[in-house]
Structure 1
Amino acid sequence: MTSVICALALGLSSAGSAHAQVDLSTLDDKMAGPTTQVLVLGTVHLSTMPKDFDRRSLQPLIDRLVEFHPQIVTVEEMPGEQCDMAERHPAIYGEQGLAPYCRKPDAGKTATGLDVPAAIAQTHKTLKTWPAAPTPAQRRHLAALFMAANDDVSALVQWLQLPTAERRAGDGLDAALVAALEKSTRANSESGLIAAVVAARLGLQRVYAADDHTGDNVDVADAAAFGKAIQQAWDAAAAPMRPIRERQNALIKAGDMLGLYRYINSPAVMRANIDSDFAAALRDRSPEHYGQMYVAGWETRNLRMVANIRAAARERPGTRVLSIVGVSHKPWFDDLLGRMQGLRIVDAQEVLK
Structure 2
Amino acid sequence: MLNGLAVYSPNIVATEVLTGEDCLRVKFYKLKYDGVSTDYCVRQEAIIKLTSLTTGLNVPDAEEEAERLLKSWPDLPTGSDRRHLAAVFGAAGDYGSALVQWARLPKAERVSDRFISDEMVAFLNRLLEDQNEVSQIAVPLAARLGLERLHPSDDHTADSILNSAPDELTSAIQSLWKQPDAYSAEYRRRIASLHSAQDLLSLYSFLNSTDGQEGVINGEWRGALRQRSDDLLGRQYVAWWETRNLRMAANIRASFGNHPGARVIMIVGASHKPYLERYISLMHDVVVTDVTSYLDKQSKFH
Q: Same fold (TM over 0.5)?
A: yes
Give the alignment's Cα RMSD to 1 decimal. 2.0
Equivalent in 9, 13, 22 of residue 82 of structure 1: 22
Question: Do structure 1's residue 125 and structure 2's residue 68 form an aligned pair?
Answer: yes
Q: Distance in 2 between matches of 1:80 and 1:245?
A: 37
2:281 aligns with: 338
**1:335–1:139 distance in 2 versus 1, CA, 3 Å:** same
Shift in Å, 1:148: 1.1
What letter corresponds to residue 273 of structure 2 in structure 1?
K
Question: Do structure 1's residue 162 and structure 2's residue 110 form an aligned pair?
Answer: no
Shift in Å, 1:256: 6.2
Equivalent in 17, 24, 39 of residue 100 of structure 1: 39
1:219 aligns with: 163
Q: Distance in 1 between matches of 2:137 and 2:173?
A: 32
Shift in Å, 1:79: 0.9
Q: Distance in 1 between matches of 2:21 and 2:59?
A: 7
Shift in Å, 1:237: 5.0
Q: Distance in 2 between matches of 1:140 and 1:252?
A: 41
Structure with larger Rg = 1
Runs of 4+ in 1 over 6 A off after TM superposition: none
1:228 aligns with: 171
Shift in Å, 1:349: 3.0
**1:97–1:333 distance in 2 versus 1, CA, 3 Å:** closer
Which protein has greater RCO, CA pairs closer than 8 Å, 6+ apart?
A: 1
3-state SS in 1 of match to 2:288: strand
Shift in Å, 1:323: 0.4
Gaps of at least 5 residues in structure 1 are: 1-60
Equivalent in 125, 129, 145 of residue 182 of structure 1: 125
3-state SS in 2 of match to 1:236: coil
Question: Does the CA-based 8 Å contact 1:73-1:323 persist in structure 2?
Answer: yes
Q: Distance in 2 between matches of 1:70 and 1:288?
A: 44
3-state SS in 1 of match to 2:177: helix
Question: Do structure 1's residue 143 and structure 2's residue 83 form an aligned pair?
Answer: no
Shift in Å, 1:235: 1.6
3-state SS in 2 of match to 1:73: strand
After TM superposition, the structure 1 stretch with the greater mean CA deviation from structure 2, 159-168 or 342-351, is 342-351
Q: TM-score, normalised by structure 1?
A: 0.77
2:252 aligns with: 309
Question: Does the CA-based 8 Å contact 2:17-2:153 persist in structure 1?
Answer: yes
Q: Distance in 2 between matches of 1:155 and 1:238?
A: 43
Q: Distance in 2 between matches of 1:316 and 1:304?
A: 20
Question: Does the CA-based 8 Å contact 1:281-1:291 persist in structure 2?
Answer: yes
* Cα offsets for 1:49-70 (capped at 9, x unmatched): xxxxxxxxxxxx1111011000
Gaps of at least 5 residues in structure 2 are: 298-302
Shift in Å, 1:254: 4.3
Q: Distance in 2 between matches of 1:65 and 1:324?
A: 11
**Percentage of matched positions with identical amino acids:** 40
Question: Does the CA-based 8 Å contact 1:98-1:213 persist in structure 2?
Answer: no
3-state SS in 2 of match to 1:343: coil
2:237 aligns with: 294
Q: Distance in 2 between matches of 1:326 and 1:129?
A: 34
3-state SS in 2 of match to 1:74: strand
Shift in Å, 1:243: 3.5
Question: Do structure 1's residue 323 and structure 2's residue 266 form an aligned pair?
Answer: yes
3-state SS in 1 of match to 2:169: helix
* Cα offsets for 1:203-234 (capped at 9, x unmatched): 100000000000133234642x1111111222
